[in-house]
């Protein structure tokens, strides 16, 4: 379908799919609120793209069918997964409203995303290699050299994290020499967190 792919980056522009989903929801008398996480939020912030959207939402067979039909129309369903799925719901708690941001608001579809700090917390908590690389990229692009502040913010949000994971992504972002100096400068503070 025309308009779904950004010609420069081969990224999927999901807005036409969301508009189509809204029309289908309107026609079947359903409403849906999504809270998007993962690769789609990375894409929204100018990082790597994604082929699907992980989101928190309440589903039923009627909504799943509407999602499937939109994916078929735009040829964006994966072989084993729909373009829009809520598998994250079983793995993570619902993000608090203060960490949600509006993307689109249609008549029968509201599309929210988590903020970038909450996204980093989810990715650090998962600990998967790609997720840790994503966090390192975010940190490096934001010139944020404050791992203890990030760790404290994420703990305040409610994430249970090991400080070593946070320090690892900062090492990925800035290198081992930077991390060694950081340890020397903050040794007593770091010891308190282990």
Per-10-residue mean pLDDT for the chain, 194 residues long?
A: 46 93 98 96 90 94 97 94 90 89 98 96 93 95 90 93 95 96 91 76
Q: How far is CA 30 from CA 23, 105, 122, in A?
A: 10, 15, 29
Q: How many angstroms separate the CA atoms of 20 and 41, rounded?
A: 20
Q: How many angstroms separate the CA atoms of 113 and 66, rounded?
A: 21
Tokens (6 digits) for 7: 């010609």
The structure's pTM equals: 0.86
pLDDT given at position 143: 78
pLDDT given at position 144: 77
User: Which H or E element spans position 139?
Assistant: helix 129-141
């Amino acid at each position: 379908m025309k308009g779904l792919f950004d010609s420069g980056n081969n990224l999927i522009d999901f807005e036409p799919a969301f508009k189509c989903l809204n029309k289908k929801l309107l026609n079947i008398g359903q409403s849906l609120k999504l809270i998007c996480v993962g690769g789609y939020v990375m894409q929204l912030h100018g990082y790597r793209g994604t082929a699907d959207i992980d989101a928190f939402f309440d589903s039923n067979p009627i909504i799943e069918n509407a999602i499937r039909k939109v994916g078929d129309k735009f040829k964006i369903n994966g072989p084993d997964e729909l373009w829009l799925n809520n598998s994250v719901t079983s793995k993570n708690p619902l993000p608090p409203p203060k960490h949600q941001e509006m993307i689109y608001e249609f008549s029968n579809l509201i599309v929210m995303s988590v903020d970038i700090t909450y996204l980093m917390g989810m990715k650090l908590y998962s600990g998967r290699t790609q997720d840790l690389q994503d966090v390192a990229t975010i940190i490096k692009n934001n010139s944020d050299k404050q791992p203890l502040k990030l760790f404290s913010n994420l703990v305040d949000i409610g994430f249970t994290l090991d400080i070593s994971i946070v320090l690892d992504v900062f090492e990925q972002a800035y290198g081992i020499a930077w991390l060694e100096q950081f340890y020397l400068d903050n040794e007593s503070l770091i010891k308190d967190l282990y």
